Chains A and B, each alone.
Chain A
Amino acid sequence: MSNIDRRTLLKLAGLIGATAALPFSFARAADKPLIVGFIYVGARDDFGYNQAHAEAAAIIKTLPNVVVVEEENVPETVAVQKSMEAMIRQDGATLIFPTSFGYFDPHVIKMAERFPEVHFAHCGGLWQEGVHPMNAGSFFGYIDEGQYLNGVIAGYASKSKKLGFIAAKPVPQVLRNINAFTMGARSVDPEITTTVIFTGNWSLPIKEAEAANSLIDQSCDVLTCHVDGPKVIVETAEKRGAMTCGYHADQSALAPNGYLTGAEWNWETPYRAHVSASENDQPMINFLRGGLKEGFVKTSPYGPLVTAEAKTKADAIKAQMMAGEFAIFTGPLKDNQGNEVVAAGVALDQTDVVLESMDYLVEGVRGQI
């Protein structure tokens, strides 16, 4: 250490001076804009899951002092880990919305552990206290409320009393939507059945079009779905003269005649909650859920084929839901094998965790898991 010359000494002194000035520069950082990253698993304009997120992100973009960086078509592989890291390291993001369900385990968890000062607000509802990092969290919405209302409108509109549902995979979230849709329709007419086709994956446009055609050939006259991008289904149905209820986002532009209504996400609500928590240096909101009442979910405007009677009925149920007085899954409820799944006298609250491991199709659904 004896051979420190003057030049080195000056450099060291400068370095120490810079370090001393650091707290000052941190203090000044308070009015720096909040940088928020959004990551989508598909295209931002897919008329579906990703579009619903991108539309809400566009609103966040307009907030003062918020900068949004976005990336689309990011697969649930190491690519999403690198995208999150890039947003943090290259763009300085301190709040990240990894919007695909499959991003959470292991990708979000890994990154949240590596970057404890960054907030990760995942969409999907998987975060568990004591298991997952405190700077991560997940939000989700009870969109089965929208699907129940879809079912009511479809029940009034259907002539053949046969509805069609194109679903990706028989997982609890999807089953809950199929069941809610069917129960909504059967609240109008208990003769109605829903035929379900599982395509096997979240985004298979060719299979989805085939399934739509096949359902229409089986005389189903109202279709709805739970796939990432309902575009081809809505378009196919419109071309064939069948009616549709939308999902994820508003697809009325694709089917000006046959689009009845739709169950849409309203991600603006949870996004705003997370952004404002980050702006005010509040702790991470780890668990956030809501339905129509809380503004996490909304419905598309009614299409031209919806009758006044149907509107009145659906609006009445919607008002009950908004007031928190409506339970979709009430007993006695049987599955389509004849087993009782909800006992008489039981009304499951939307927040009931039992509903999140749903593994049955209710009476009136044609199809099997």
Chain B
Amino acid sequence: MNFRNQFYRVGVALLPGLPSLLAALTTFVLFMLFLTVQGKPAWEACQLVVQGAFGSAFALESTLQRAAPLMLTALCVALPARAGLIIIGGEGALVLGGLAAAVAPLWLPSMPTLLMLLCMAFSAMLVGGFWIGLNGWMRQKRGLNETIGSLLLSYIAIALFNQLVEGPLRDPASLNKPSTVPLGDDLLIGPISDQFQVHWGLVVGIIACVLAQILVRNSVTGFSLQVVGGNVRTARMMGLPVDRLVILTCVLGGACAGLAGMFEVAAVQGSANAAIIAGYGASGILVAFAARQNPLAIIACAILLGGIEASGSLLQRRLGLPDATTLILEGILFTSLLAWEALTPRIVAWRLRLNERVIQAQGALQHG
């Protein structure tokens, strides 16, 4: 009896992960098939994917480095999703946040390095938060679909970014690569250590995910959000400040994306230029959906996606496969995740049944 009880408990705990597991298996099979059909060494390719992503200390660095911005841009999707919004415009918040971080040291009076970095981070978050917050506001107050709205606002943000970087904010010395004035050397964020060449954005990304998890799981606000996301009418009937909660999640999500932009500028590029428009916002959507909008799962999913991208580099060099192979792998993975997502209602039912068994078994234990 006790053993069965344990079995049911494990089942209840593992069931939510079933779609991910099935998706991973499907992806593996389809990817092997895709390569075999073309006459490519499928098994070797799969080995290289693992080796390129996690096979050595360097591979791990490469993976984690690529994952870092994705954690923050994924939060830009996952946080509003708790309130039932699908925001896909994180790219816009990222680029404008990066721009704000790049120009903050020019406009603010000089101050100690650490304080200046905090100011840069704050301005990036402010601008990113405003941009996505605007989406939330337009949805709640003007009835605009937030998915379309955020996508369009993202295009506007990128256009605005280009206009400013190539126009009024351009460093006249940046001739063929229009950029803002480069940050001073003291404001450049270096790697975590010489032995571990990953910038601090990774640490900040993980911290942000943990904080987000605490917010959505262990706070009153998080519970209110769950109600809003679950059923707005109920939330309104309960007297919850729905508009405020929705806009809050958007602002927080946008702030995360803005922060990602700040790290792209201060830890990677050294100035704001078109290179920061690299599609991190779009990859963040993939990560957030793969993580089912769960902040802690975002860490794992971002590392997974970072790993696939890192291994794409090895696949190209060792097997001469085109870069599109990596995109195909990502595409198969994402589609499988969404397809197996359809299992969710059944899983809820199975969970309920298993839970009943657990309770029955416990009852039997107490009485027996």
Contact = CB atoms under 8 A, between A and B. Distances in A.
Determine chain A's interface SS by DSSP, over half rule: mixed
Interface of A: 37, 43-44, 69-79, 82-83, 85-87, 89-91, 101-102, 105-106, 124, 169-173, 200-201, 356-357
A172 B313 contact: no
B317 A71 contact: yes
B287 to A, nearest CB: 16
Given A43-B323, A72-B323, A105-B177, A77 B317 contact: no
Contacts, number: 85
Nearest to A202: B274
B175 A356 contact: yes
A169 to B, nearest CB: 7
B5 interface: no
22 contacts: A44-B322, A70-B316, A70-B317, A71-B317, A75-B275, A76-B278, A77-B275, A77-B278, A78-B65, A78-B66, A78-B199, A78-B268, A79-B313, A82-B310, A82-B313, A85-B58, A85-B197, A102-B273, A102-B274, A169-B166, A171-B176, A356-B175
* Interface residue tally on B, bucketed by range: 20 to 34
A75 B278 CA distance: 7
Interface of B: 56, 58, 61-62, 65-66, 162, 166, 175-178, 197, 199, 264, 268-270, 273-276, 278-279, 309-310, 313-314, 316-317, 320, 322-323
A106 B270 CA distance: 7
Given A72-B316, A357-B175, 13 more contacts: A44-B322, A69-B317, A70-B316, A71-B313, A74-B313, A76-B278, A77-B269, A82-B313, A86-B62, A101-B176, A170-B166, A171-B177, A201-B162
A71 B178 contact: no
B317 A82 contact: no
A169 B269 contact: no
9 smallest A-B Cβ distances: which pairs?
Answer: A73-B323, A76-B275, A82-B62, A69-B317, A171-B176, A106-B270, A77-B278, A75-B278, A71-B316
B66 A82 contact: yes
B176 A172 contact: yes
A43 B323 CA distance: 8
B88 to A, nearest CB: 20
Contacts of A105: 177, 270
B178 A171 contact: yes
Nearest to A75: B278
A82 B61 CA distance: 9
B327 to A, nearest CB: 9
A70 B317 CA distance: 6
Contacts of B62: 82, 85-86
A218 B177 CA distance: 31
Contacts of A169: 166, 178
Contact of A82 (B65, B178, B264, B322): B65
Contacts of B269: 77, 106
Contact of B314 (A74, A86, A102): A86
